[in-house]
Amino acid sequence: MDKKVSLAVIKRLPRYYRFLGDLLDNGITRISSKDLSEKMNVTASQIRQDLNNFGCFGQQGYGYNVELLFEEIKEILGLNKTYNLVILGAGKIGQALLNYTKFEKRGFNFIGIFDKDINIIGTKIRNLEVKDIRELENFTKENNVDIAVLAVPAESANDIYEKIVSYGIKGVWNFSNKEFRKENGVIVEDVHLTDSLMTLAYKFNSNDFIEY
Amino acid sequence: MDKKVSLAVIKRLPRYYRFLGDLLDNGITRISSKDLSEKMNVTASQIRQDLNNFGCFGQQGYGYNVELLFEEIKEILGLNKTYNLVILGAGKIGQALLNYTKFEKRGFNFIGIFDKDINIIGTKIRNLEVKDIRELENFTKENNVDIAVLAVPAESANDIYEKIVSYGIKGVWNFSNKEFRKENGVIVEDVHLTDSLMTLAYKFNSNDFIEY
């Protein structure tokens, strides 16, 4: 790739991937950019522009080869690999994520869950026993941990984030309501549920917005 | 407001609201757009542009009055009202959301949780007893339901969404991996956790992106 791609484009790729997967599941092997655009409610020109960032996959008069495009996006997103995840915080959010089997189908494997609460440590959630957060350092030495899921309460989030960074874990999926300065090449992806709910409240009260 | 505001701007408002709330909690009553911009890692001109969409709150040489701005954004977002929410699907995600007390502090009150599983119906989660999903229609007639939280498995999502629309509920917070055509003025806000994880995977593998 010659140029840097905007994160706005990147964030649309999973959606393409989802739609193309649905098409494949329904036995559709080829689609015009017009049909894809109607299905996805995005302009055909937007789709062409997005996909051109990664090379040209459409053919004039033929449209897109669904499987080829699906596989290419899979590779672009890095979903041809698998990832080892640990969940930090074994509360309801941590448990909900561990129980969500769809992530594994995409190659995201939970290999550990940690908490500081002695009443939770040692209990079993799905296939994993909750470990003491103090064991995390040794665990990261003995296992290849790619991504830490930060699911601790706000007041512990900074402490745990510092541990993640110092133990050399490179990816953070952040469910705490805190934001962190990127450091040491650590990649953070935030899920701000309250922000999402506030956005819904805004839309609920106002028609003064455009959907982009 | 004379013109429609882009959703990209709207989606940044909860973040301003969060940061301003933190400032207030720390006793900071006034901030320059430069300091706010450094704290939020957004350009000062972006901040000015965003806030100008809703009227001008900054004063040359003074900066922003934190409390005033906080209250204005609160009103813009519709957080000066309260909302009644029902959770559809009492699995781990539904339970996690019901147990998350921060939403109530923002005025989002859970007044019901529903499921179709007879093993879950009648059990108590936090302060609510899980009701049979077949009672939802009557419940919406007897209560003012603003927002339905869609937390059912993918295979039930379409059915339940149709029920939501037909019962006249106007807001949907969608945790299913499905997307819905907007209809009858229904407002849908999607939380696609798998998309977020895929975006993280991309960033993990590539430096070829720009953070906007």
Alpha-carbon distance of A190 to A177, in angstroms, equals 8
Residue B64 binned pLDDT confidence (cut-offs 50, 70, 90): confident
The answer, yes or no, to whether residue A4 has pLDDT greater than 80, is: no
Tokens of A58: 């459409």
Percent of chain A with pLDDT over 70: 92
What is the 8-class DSSP label of residue B130? P
For domain B83-195, the CATH class is alpha beta
| pLDDT tens per residue across span B93-152 | 999 899 888 899 889 999 999 999 999 999 999 999 999 999 999 999 999 999 999 999
**CB within 8 Å: A187 and B200:** yes
Tokens of B115: 């499921």
Tokens of B167: 């019962």
**CB within 8 Å: B191 and A187:** no
Q: What does pLDDT average to over chain B?
A: 89
Tokens of A102: 């769809």
Percent of chain B with pLDDT over 90: 54
- Per residue, the 3-state secondary structure of A55-102, as one string, reads ECCEECCCEEEHHHHHHHHHHHHCCCCCEEEEEECCCHHHHHHHCCCH
Q: Which segments of chain A belong to CATH 1.10.10.10?
A: 7-77
Tokens of B145: 């339901």
Residue B184 binned pLDDT confidence (cut-offs 50, 70, 90): confident
Kindly report the pTM of this predicted structure: 0.87
Q: What is the ipTM of this complex?
A: 0.87
Residues in chain B closer than 8 A to A201 (CB atoms): 77-79, 81, 83, 108
Contact between B13 and B77 under an 8 Å Cβ cutoff? The reply is: yes
pLDDT of residue A178: 87
Strands B147-150 and B30-31, bridge-based pairing: unpaired
Query: Which element (helix H / strand E) includes B8?
Result: helix B7-25
Residues in chain A closer than 8 A to B95 (CB atoms): 92, 96
- Per residue, the 3-state secondary structure of chain A, as one string, reads CCCCEEHHHHHHHHHHHHHHHHHHHCCCCEECHHHHHHHHCCCHHHHHHHHHECECCEECCCEEEHHHHHHHHHHHHCCCCCEEEEEECCCHHHHHHHCCCHHHHCCEEEEEEEECCCCCCCCEECCEECEEHHHHHHHHHHCCCCEEEECCCHHHHHHHHHHHHHCCCCEEEECCCCCCCCCCCCEEEECCHHHHHHHHHHHHHCCCEECC
The answer, yes or no, to whether residue A205 has pLDDT greater than 90, is: no
Residue A42: CB atoms within 10 A of its CB come to: 18
> In which order are the strands placed within the sheet that holds A30-31?
A30-31, A63-65, A58-59
Contact between B136 and B162 under an 8 Å Cβ cutoff? The reply is: no
Closest CA of chain B from A183, distance in Å: 14
The CATH architecture assigned to B7-77 reads Orthogonal Bundle (1.10)
Residues in chain A closer than 8 A to B191 (CB atoms): 191, 193, 196
**CB within 8 Å: B200 and A17:** no
**CB within 8 Å: B78 and A205:** yes
Closest CA relative to residue B88, chosen from B113, B109, B60, B121 = B113
Chosen from B3, B7, B39, B198 to mutate, greatest number of chain A CBs within 10 A = B198
Q: Tell whether the torsion through CA atoms of A143, A145, A151 and A155 is positive or negative.
A: positive
Amino acid identity, residue B82? T
Amino acid identity, residue A198? M
| pLDDT tens per residue across span B112-123 | 999 999 999 999
The answer, yes or no, to whether residue B1 has pLDDT greater than 60, is: no
Rg (CA), chain B: 20
pLDDT of residue B189: 93
Contact between B30 and B93 under an 8 Å Cβ cutoff? The reply is: no
Task: Say which residues have a Cβ less than 8 Å from residue A55's Cβ, sequence separation at least 6.
Answer: A72
Q: Which segments of chain B belong to CATH 3.40.50.720?
A: 83-195
Residues in chain A closer than 8 A to B4 (CB atoms): 208-210
Task: Say which residues have a Cβ less than 8 Å from residue A123's Cβ, sequence separation at least 6.
Answer: A90, A129, A130
**Nearest by CB: A204 against B1, B5, B78:** B78
Tokens of B44: 């000062």
